[in-house]
Chains A and B, each alone.
Chain A
Amino acid sequence: MFKKVLISEDLGSISNGIVSLLESLHIANYKQVQYCDDAYLKIKKANLDEQPFDLLITDLSFKADHRQQQYPSGEKLIKVLKLEYPALKIVAYSVEDRPQKVRTVMLDSKADAYVCKGRNGLRELDEAITAVLNGQNYLSPQISNALRETLTAEIEDYDIEIMQLLALGQSQEEISRNFKEKNITPSSLSAIEKKIVKLKNQFNAKNSVQLISIAKDLGLI
């Protein structure tokens, strides 16, 4: 288990939640800070004293006050720490659940885990700590899709062409032949078959007839 943990969080109540979690995990050596800059200094000092922290749990957004902060947000802090102390494990703990944000923190700043604050936040944080300890990354379930190649289904001209031909009553074989004549690729029967399955899925259609009906309703063909 982790020996020395730093909590960077400006809201006391949340901090307390984390502390109670740590205590239940029998981690007694923890420190709390309310600013990213303080977190950075603490970690640096601990390293110089050769008693380094091995886990940081940090919020991403902090209330700005009169103090000029070198690291105004968690992402920046994480990025710097990961460059200087690669051994330090970092868990981001934030209310933010936009995939774009999750991607920035995980891919750009290179945090080890991202946990969303919420009703199940503490339980997920527990899971995250275990995962990170085992050298794995962790994401809260509601953002588990964030890191995947996540594009909405973009409808290509190719898809429109297939649906138009289907609407004209052509069979998959006929479409394949048609595409070969027009030099449209891919034109193989299997590729067209796959595409139609994908389109049905995309449009929540049970069969080709419903697919065409929906596409017509939406004005695509």
Chain B
Amino acid sequence: MKNIPFSFLFFLILFLTANPFALQGQIHRDTIYKYYNSIVHPNDDVTISQGINFYTRKKENDTQLKDTLSIIQDLRLIAIGQFNLGNINDSEIAVVESLTLIDDYSKKDALIEGRKALYNQLGKIYGETKNYNKAIEVYNWSLNLSENKSDSITLINNKATIYIELGEYQKAAKQLELAQKKGANDTNSLQYAMVLDNLGFVQSKLGKPDALINLKKAKSIREIQNNLEGAYSSNKHLALYYFDRNNKTQATEYAYKAYGIANTLNSITFLQDALSLFAIMNEDPKIVQFKQITDSIAKEKQLAENKNAFIKYNVANEKKKTAEALLEKEKEKNQKLVFLILGIIISLTSIFIYFALRLRHKKEKIMQVHNTESRISKKVHDEVANDVYHLMAKIQGNLTENEELLDDLEKIYNKTRDISKENSAIEIQENFSGQLNDLLLSYQTEKTKIATRNISKIEWNTISEIKKTTIYRVLQELMTNMKKHSNAAVVVLSFQQNNKKINIDYTDNGNGCEIKNKNGLLNAENRIKALNGTIIFESKPNKGFKAKISL
């Protein structure tokens, strides 16, 4: 158990970096201090388990308060406690959870110290579980964050002990020499003694001449400072030094000294460690063999435990995942329900809107039919019925000759035919431009000439049927209006296409009028408005008539 002395130094870092009372409002200070000490300085009053228990509950409380900093602190103490109890896996879980919280924390730069300490703890966990490569990697992360010299000395020292465990003494020596250099300005500190002691041990293994000097120097510093744990380590290393050099007298002497200190410390671990020294140095090969076998069994056991812990951890993880999946399922179910309800609401609303719109559309349609009907009926009344009545009156008065009667009748016949033509369904033909031409042509007389511009340039096949019908009807109405009122000599219709939009400019040089009562053209206007188009009329007496259609 060579690294026992180093663990205490880790607690030292904790003291330096974290104030246990920070951010802890509700719980009484004394209570916190008591449990803090139970973990950092284990004693008989309160057991480590009680400490862990306290911090586990405190963590739950802090989680509810969403006090991330306190949660990180709680987890760190749980990690240390679990490590000291030998629950390496639980310790690791606590460290990882704490590190995750730091990563997600918005002001994580302020928590560098905490992160460093957690990496150090993780390094120890990996060292303990003999996962040496990982341990070194984690120590390197921690070193990258270290600006504080004393911190980095401890970290380098811890890293070196991993190399010692691996038997890579050269690498260990290199690290320790670096640490020694860093600590050179305070050669009386316990930290320096620790580095020196480990360096001496490595040098003794490498057969370097400085080994003894360093070991003795470390011992004297520790003795002056009355550091019992340190002194134990120094005596043990000296015993091993002399044992390696076959100086049994000296070796035994230091071993006894170490044993004495272990007794004073009254610690089973120290006693076990001290007694194993005697086993190593025993002359009876059987006892040496016993010691070796005990060690290797312990190692096997540790590795098996690691494996077991790993499996246990995986099983626990699996269980957690299953529970989470169940929860997720439940959540999904709820979500589905919400979506279902939402979907029903949306479809009900759309059905409602659909019917409302349909009703409105129907009403509009009926209105339109009514309008058309009343328009036609008015026309029949105004143009046909009046004339027929007039004719009847003439016949009654016997004022007419046959020929004249026939003329009148023909006029009436033509009028009815015109009304029928205006309202009959028009069949939009393939050659719409020809159809329009025929329409315009039917209004052309000797007195009234009709000219078009760019009518053949319109791509009629890109225009919808309803638009074409509307254009046909509107032009028909414009032309009828022209024929009735304008007395124009020339009419020009200019066409222009802009994608799907058709612009038509109607111009004549007829009488023109004041545009007040657009009776005859109201229909044209309505037709165009129905398709979201515009029609603008422009006229003054004797200035001709203009209409701009955009559809």
Q: Which residues of A pack against B, CB within 8 Å?
A: 95, 98-100, 118-119, 145, 150-155, 201-204, 214, 217-220
- How does the 8 Å CB contact mask read for B374-417 relative to A, with 1 for contact and 0 for none? 00000000000000000000000000000000100110010001
Contact A98 B438 (CB under 8 A): yes
Q: A99-B442, A202-B449 are in contact. Are A219 and B489 (CB under 8 A)?
A: no
- Interface pair A217/B509, CB less than 8 Å apart: yes
Which chain B residues lie closer than 8 Å to A119 at the CB level? 406, 409-410, 413
Could you list 11 A-B pairs, sorted by A, with CB under 8 Å? A100-B429, A119-B410, A145-B441, A150-B437, A152-B452, A152-B455, A155-B492, A202-B451, A214-B509, A218-B490, A218-B508
Closest CB in chain A relative to B401 CB, distance in Å:
15
Q: How far is the CA of A219 from the CA of B494 in the complex (A)?
A: 10
- Docked-complex contact B451 and A153, CB < 8 angstroms: yes
Q: B421, B435, B440: which contacts A100 (Cβ < 8 A)?
A: B435
CB-defined contacts of B406 to chain A, threshold 8 Å: 119
Among the listed A95, A150, A203, which residue makes an inter-chain contact with B489, where contact means beta carbons less than 8 Å apart? A203
From B453, B489, B505, B508, name the one whose CB has the most chain A CB atoms within 10 angstroms.
B453
A100→B429 CA distance, assembly (Å): 10
Asked whether, in the complex, the Cβ of A154 is within 8 Å of the Cβ of B409, the reply is no
Alpha-carbon separation in the docked complex, A145 to B442 (Å): 10
B residues with a Cβ closer than 8 A to A are 406, 409-410, 413, 417, 421, 429, 434-435, 437-438, 440-442, 444, 447, 449-456, 489-490, 492, 505, 507-509, 544, 546
Residue of B nearest to A199 (CB): B451
Would B451 and A219 count as touching, CB distance under 8 A?
Answer: no
By a CB distance below 8 angstroms, the chain A residues around B442 are: 98-99
- Give the complex CA separation of A95 and B420 in angstroms: 11
The chain A residue sitting closest to B492, CB to CB, is A218
Expressed in whole angstroms, the Cα–Cα distance for A154 and B410 within the complex equals: 34
Are the C-beta atoms of A154 and B455 separated by less than 8 Å? yes
The 10 lowest CB-CB distance pairs between A and B, nearest first, are A119-B410, A204-B489, A153-B451, A99-B438, A218-B507, A218-B492, A155-B453, A100-B438, A203-B490, A152-B440
Does B507 contact A219, Cβ atoms closer than 8 Å? yes
Q: Tell me the complex Cα distance, A201–B450, Å.
A: 11
Say which residue of A95, A99, A214 sits within 8 Å of B441 (CB atoms).
A99
Known: A99-B442, A118-B410, A152-B440. 13 other contacts (CB 8 A): A98-B438, A100-B429, A119-B410, A152-B451, A153-B450, A202-B490, A203-B490, A204-B449, A204-B489, A214-B509, A217-B544, A218-B509, A220-B492
Residues of chain B with a CB closer than 8 A to A201's CB: 449
Asked if A152 meets B453 with Cβ closer than 8 Å, knowing A99-B438, A219-B507, the reply is no
A154 touches B453 (CB 8 A): yes
Separation of A150 and B436 alpha carbons in the complex (Å) = 11
**A203-B434 in contact (CB<8A):** no
Chain B residues, Cβ within 8 Å of A95: 417
* Whole-angstrom distance between the Cβ of A143 and the nearest chain B Cβ: 10
Bound form: Cα–Cα A182–B442 in Å: 38
Closest to A201 in B: B449
Partner of B449, one of A150, A203, A219: A203
Give the distance in Å from the alpha carbon of A118 to the alpha carbon of B417 in the complex: 10
Kindly identify which residue among A118, A154, A217 contacts B456, using a CB–CB cutoff of 8 Å: A154
A99 to B508, CA, bound (A): 24
Contacts of A99 in B (CB 8 A): 438, 441-442
B411 shortest CB reach to chain A, Å: 10
* Complex Cα gap A152–B442 (Å): 10
CB distance from B402 to the nearest CB of A (A): 12
- Which of B413, B444, B544 has a CB less than 8 Å from the CB of A118? B413
- Contact call A153/B413, Cβ cutoff below 8 A: no
Measured CA separation A156–B442 after assembly (Å):
22
Residues of A within 8 A of B409 (CB): 119
Q: Give the distance in Å from the alpha carbon of A218 to the alpha carbon of B449 in the complex.
A: 13
Interface contact A152-B437, CB-CB below 8 Å? yes
Smallest Cβ distance from B251 to chain A, in angstroms? Answer: 120
A residues in contact with B490, CB < 8 Å? 202-204, 214, 218
Q: Shortest CB–CB separation between residue B480 and chain A, in angstroms?
A: 15
A100: nearest chain-B partner, CB-CB = B438
A154 x B509 contact (CB < 8 A):
no
Alpha-carbon distance between A155 and B490 when the two chains are bound, in angstroms? 13
**A118 and B412 alpha carbons, distance in the complex (Å):** 11
Q: Please report the C-alpha to C-alpha distance between residue A189 and residue B406 in the assembled complex, in whole angstroms.
A: 53
Q: How far is the CA of A218 from the CA of B490 in the complex (A)?
A: 8
C-alpha spacing A155/B495, complex, angstroms: 11
> Across the interface, which residues of B come within 8 angstroms of A100, CB to CB?
429, 434-435, 438
Nearest Cβ on chain B to A219's Cβ, whole angstroms: 6
